[in-house]
Amino acid sequence: MGRRTPSSNSSPESDLDTIKVQPRDSGPNLKERDRYLAHYSNQHSRPPGPPPNYQPYTKWLPWLVPIIAIVNVVLFVLVMYVNDCPRNSQNCFGTEIFGRYAFQDVHENPLLGPSTTTLQKLGALDVKKVVEGRQLWRLLSCMWLHAGVFHVAANMLSLLFVGIRLEQEFGFVRIGPLYVLAGVGGSLLSALFVRKKISVGASGALFGLLGAMLSELITNWTLYENKLATLLTLLLIIAINLAVGILPHVDNFAHLGGFITGFLLGCVLLIRPQFGWMDKKRAPSGYFAASKKSKYKIYQYILLIMSLAIFLTGFILGLILLTNGWDGNAHCSWCHYLSCVPTPLWSCTEARCATTQLENQLNMTCTSNHKNGTYILSNPNNTIEIQMLCSKLCK
């Protein structure tokens, strides 16, 4: 079962703590500055410059990111309710403890979650349904579903560590659309290259937040104090997470698509005005000397325009290619290595089986190890379930 990795987005909290989205000086508020100005004016003829530790940017109270995390957990519980393993499957894990919410057998789903059939029915990314059934809504719905307890736990912890920091700095109006669009961007690239498996999870959106952090650092480069240390730390975290994506059964195309989308949107949504412009706008009258600085630097305008153009072009082109059934692997012979690199420890080759089917009864032989198996299908037309049984037989 193709899925976005439950662990590839989990960055250590200690690493994330070293990344400053912007200078975090705790300066006085406007009233404190007014008192400072009044005291200074009694003794001097000219108004002073900014007081020490001046902080021109607003801090936001993060509420959207925690709500997104709660919604994902609630949806996972609802998916398990719909799954109802004891009723729909012969082998379940934890039936005596969880009852209706019992997990599928660990050999079927080692992440402790629902069946592939349930995920497919509730909105998993299934390219065949997207292309032939024109169910484009699956590009959005799949990012709210998760394959198991480990999957949703790892993703939501990562979301809280990364997302809360970004929302504190930039607010829900910017981070909310960025999160959703990055998730859709990850789904779009995944659908162009992962054709035979379903995919679920918020990994694409999470990588979008990492991409936005990187582009925010570049776009607002002059506002940072420890530029090089911040850049190297962030690049290390991104590289480690992307490297995990080369493992089998991990949808690294969703990670890459989300990261690229988030990077482009970060240049558009997370751009910071210059300090001089903020001083002139927010300070009391006469507090600062007249400033002729523009709101943004020239390189910021260039990055904004280029990123917005690339984002819109890529999204429109991707949707056109997807709806026309374009298969990226047919036009790029090496691209599959971006999602899985074969090693002596694992294989990236799809399992292949010879099958004969009589109504719900399926007889299957793996072509690589020649093992045989007979299965009773819950849905004789479910190709995803048949492929999963083939993979299990060929292990």
Catalytic residues: 203, 255
Name the 3-class secondary structure at 38: helix
CA dist 353 and 341 (Å) reads 23
DSSP 153-168: HHHHHHHHHHHHHHHH
CA dist 391 and 338 (Å) reads 21
* Residue 83: DSSP 8-state: H
Q: How many Cα atoms within 13 Å fall on the side-chain side of residue 13?
A: 6
Nearest to 295, CA basis, from 314, 315, 279:
279
Matching residue, tokens 């962030």: 234
For the range 174-179, what are the long-range contacts, defined as Cβ-Cβ under 8 Å and sequence gap of 24 or more? 174/269, 174/270, 175/64, 175/65, 175/209, 176/64, 177/265, 177/269, 178/208, 178/209, 178/212, 178/262, 178/265, 178/266, 178/269, 178/270, 179/68, 179/205, 179/208, 179/209
Instruction: Check: CB of residue 287 under 8 Å from CB of residue 35.
Output: no
CA dist 284 and 380 (Å) reads 73
- Structure tokens that stand for 387 in this block: 């492929």
DSSP 267-284: HHHS----HHHHHHHHSP
Name the 3-class secondary structure at 362: strand
CA dist 93 and 99 (Å) reads 10
